[in-house]
């Protein structure tokens, strides 16, 4: 079987005009394979998904089984011929003797066992005919002996003198070699020692496709197989459930990878307006939704907004839904320059190095906004 054309022939035989799902028995249980144009999908007897394989591996497996079957048939035929030969020899020994010519007996038969079979000419002729039939049967059994080649003993021929040296008894070991210690063997004449690499070179198939391109192709295939499987199996079938999980996992992987490769751009922050009085400053703080959503925590129903100032400070608005009012919000001022002190020596607002659960008051933040605009002037 040609390894280059056999996958094409097998695909034509098993796919064209036939069902592409094939079941086969393994230890009194049923496994199955799905045959697709590009590859084969294999499931175990427990309906476990074993992976996707190229058509080449199915062709190689079929060729391997053909070889095994051919060897078994040859061995069985040889055993049957030997058994028939033994039966024929037993039949000859049990029959009454006749007296044919010496050359008409099968090889190894020195005398005719039928020579005293009868006294009449008719009986003697009948005995000779039976001996001739035995001879023809013998030839028929052994006519294919020369066609069946004997198995050759494939191996390394070692000179006799070396074999004698190897087979000499070893008396006492002076020391035990430690693990992984190299053993130095003297090379005899006439023999070549070939170094076998300790690590086999793994096969690598290179592709120019990116990970996200491969994931999208696999997701499309998985969705296609899911739609095909829905036509054959019920929604609660384990194969349908596994395929749905595979589709969802690939979709999630594609989304996460896309977020890493193409992160969303943050919306452009609005410029800080010029406030004329504290009422405008308070109104700007209460309208923190105009800053744009920064982060949403669906577990606790909280939405965060932020505004970054040029001096390095960040103002975070923490907003919760409320049954009684539109929302409840808390403001947190993080980082920024050194806080100025008032006449009494106290700081005009509180600043935190990181986010904490303690918010800033509205009056503190009004002073902070007033100080920023004074500094810009």
25, 39: one domain: yes
End-to-end CA distance of the chain: 89
Choose one of 94, 117, 132: the last residue of a domain.
94
Q: What is the pTM of this model?
A: 0.36
Give residue-wise pLDDT tens across range 268-301: 888 888 888 999 999 999 998 888 888 899 888 8
Does residue 315 belong to any structural domain of this protein?
Answer: yes
Name the most confidently modeled range: 73-77, 99-103, 123-127: 73-77
Does residue 39 belong to any structural domain of this protein?
Answer: yes
Choose one of 122, 148, 174: the last residue of a domain.
148
Listing DSSP states for 125-170 in one string gives HHHHHHHHHHHHHHHHHHTTTTTSPPPP--S----HHHHHHHTSPP
Give residue-wise pLDDT tens across range 196-229: 656 778 878 888 999 999 999 999 999 999 999 8
Does residue 172 belong to any structural domain of this protein?
Answer: no
In the chain, the number of structural domains is 4
Residue 277: DSSP 8-state:
S
For residue 360, count other CB atoms closer than 10 A to its CB.
Answer: 20
315, 361: one domain: yes
Does residue 65 belong to any structural domain of this protein?
Answer: yes
Task: Name the residue range of residue 68's domain.
Answer: 1-94
Asked if the model's pLDDT at residue 98 lies above 50, the reply is: no
136, 80: one domain: no
283, 295: one domain: yes
Cα gap 305→294, rounded to integer Å: 5
Give residue-wise pLDDT tens across range 115-166: 545 556 666 666 666 666 666 666 776 666 555 555 554 444 545 554 555 4
21, 88: one domain: yes
Does residue 302 belong to any structural domain of this protein?
Answer: yes
Choose one of 94, 122, 138: the last residue of a domain.
94
């Amino acid at each position: 079987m040609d390894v280059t054309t056999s996958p094409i022939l097998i695909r034509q035989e098993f796919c064209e005009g036939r069902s592409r799902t094939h079941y086969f028995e393994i230890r009194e249980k049923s496994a199955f394979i799905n045959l697709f144009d590009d590859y084969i999908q294999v499931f175990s007897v427990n309906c476990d998904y074993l992976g996707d394989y190229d058509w080449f591996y199915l062709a190689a497996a079929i060729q391997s089984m053909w070889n095994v079957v051919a060897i078994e048939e040859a061995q069985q035929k040889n055993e049957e011929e030997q058994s028939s030969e033994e039966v024929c020899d037993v039949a000859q020994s049990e029959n009454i003797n006749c007296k044919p010519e010496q050359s008409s007996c099968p090889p190894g038969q020195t005398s005719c066992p039928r020579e005293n079979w009868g006294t009449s000419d008719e009986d003697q002729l009948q005995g000779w005919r039976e001996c001739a039939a035995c001879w023809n049967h013998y030839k028929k059994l052994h006519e294919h002996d020369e066609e069946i080649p004997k198995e050759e003993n494939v191996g390394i021929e070692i000179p006799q003198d070396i074999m004698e040296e190897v087979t000499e008894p070893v008396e006492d070991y002076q020391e035990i070699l430690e693990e992984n210690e190299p053993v130095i063997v003297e090379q005899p004449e006439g023999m070549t020692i070939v170094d076998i690499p300790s690590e086999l070179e793994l096969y690598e198939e290179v592709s120019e496709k990116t990970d996200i391109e491969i994931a999208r192709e696999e997701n499309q295939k998985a969705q296609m197989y899911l739609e095909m499987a829905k036509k054959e199996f019920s929604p609660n079938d384990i194969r349908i459930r596994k395929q749905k999980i595979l589709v969802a996992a690939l979709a999630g992987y594609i989304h996460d990878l896309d977020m890493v490769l193409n992160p969303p751009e943050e919306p452009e922050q609005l410029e800080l307006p010029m406030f004329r009085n504290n009422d405008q400053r308070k109104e700007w703080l209460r309208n923190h939704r105009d800053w744009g959503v920064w982060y949403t925590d669906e577990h606790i129903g909280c939405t965060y907004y932020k505004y970054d100032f040029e001096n390095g400070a960040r103002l975070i608005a923490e907003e919760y839904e409320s049954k009684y009012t539109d929302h409840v919000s808390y403001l947190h001022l993080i980082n920024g320059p050194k806080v100025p002190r008032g006449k009494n020596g106290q700081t005009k607002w509180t600043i935190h190095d990181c986010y904490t659960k303690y918010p800033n008051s509205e009056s503190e933040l009004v002073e902070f906004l007033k100080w920023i605009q004074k500094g810009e002037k």
